[in-house]
């Protein structure tokens, strides 16, 4: 690096990426690595078609783990990779949280109490999007991935997902952001039977069902009028929970 290069223009590297939940990177890799690997093993073993999509990436810690797993499973299971190609989508504002304009978020513990999820908090460090583009090219290839910058309220309308999603990693924290993502995935029926939702912040807000992802899951699935249901798959760390998605509306029914 030229010693006169301004710090804001210094390229960001994968080695600088940290996890927001765990200060110990080894602990973070252990927890997320096992949960993500089990999810991939299940999805590939069950022959579930669809892409991998992440909503909220912050510095890109989980994004890089997911990219590595896509590359690994594509190489080790050539038959499944050809049958069910896994495009990787990453949606993030790279500008932090939107303003909490609804009562569910504005009085929640993470906004009103700790202030951790207030507007513009957790903005990605400068250069994060560019670093991810370079890393995805190196790890997955020049194609097979898409990064969509912008607030979900805009990006899911201007650049919506249009293909099935087998694995959705939601690290979007706020109730409102989670609702925007789930309403898109469920409303457009993008989740095949057996898809997995990784809900990174399920136990935030003191695990109170009135707030956050717990409330969003309950309300969004209820809006499908029984077409979709869900059940628990696994728990990871103190915060996260993964769920199977059951597409009851048009999946095989032996009792019909």
pLDDT in tens, 198-249: 999 999 889 999 999 999 999 999 999 999 999 999 999 999 999 999 999 9
Q: What is the rounded average pLDDT of the residues 19-42?
A: 93
What pLDDT score does 205 carry? 87
- Helical spans, DSSP H, in the chain: 25-45, 61-76, 78-83, 103-106, 128-139, 152-158, 175-187, 212-222
- pLDDT exceeds cutoff 90 at 255: yes
Asked if residue 6 has pLDDT above 50, the reply is no
The number of residues in the chain equals 256
**Sheet-wide strand order for 228-236:** 145-149, 88-92, 51-55, 165-170, 196-199, 240-247, 228-236
Pairing state between β 145-149 and 196-199 = unpaired
Confidence of residue 46 (pLDDT cuts 50, 70, 90): very high
- How much is the mean pLDDT over the chain? 88
228-236 vs 240-247, strand pairing mode? antiparallel
């Amino acid at each position: 690096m030229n010693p006169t290069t301004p710090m804001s223009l210094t390229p960001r590297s994968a080695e600088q990426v940290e996890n927001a939940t765990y200060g110990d990177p080894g602990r973070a890799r252990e927890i997320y690595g096992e949960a993500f690997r089990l999810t991939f093993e299940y999805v590939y073993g069950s022959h579930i078609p669809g892409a991998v999509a992440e909503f909220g990436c912050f510095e890109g810690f989980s994004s890089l783990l997911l990219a590595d797993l896509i590359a690994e499973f594509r190489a080790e299971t050539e038959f499944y990779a050809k049958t069910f190609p896994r495009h990787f989508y990453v949606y993030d504002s790279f500008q932090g949280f939107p303003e909490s304009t609804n009562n569910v978020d504005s009085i929640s513990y993470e906004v009103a109490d700790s202030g951790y999820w207030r507007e513009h908090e957790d903005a990605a460090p400068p250069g994060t999007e560019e670093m991810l583009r370079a890393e995805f090219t190196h790890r997955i290839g020049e194609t097979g991935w898409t990064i969509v910058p912008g607030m979900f309220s805009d990006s899911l309308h201007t650049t919506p997902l249009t293909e099935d999603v087998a694995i959705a990693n939601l690290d979007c924290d706020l109730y409102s952001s989670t609702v925007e993502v789930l309403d898109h995935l469920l409303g457009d029926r993008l989740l095949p039977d057996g898809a997995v939702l990784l809900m990174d912040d399920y136990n935030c807000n003191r695990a109170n069902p009135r707030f956050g992802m717990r409330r969003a899951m309950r309300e969004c699935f209820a809006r499908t009028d029984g077409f979709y249901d869900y059940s628990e798959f696994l728990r990871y760390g103190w915060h996260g929970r993964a769920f199977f998605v059951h597409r009851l509306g048009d999946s095989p029914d032996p009792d019909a």
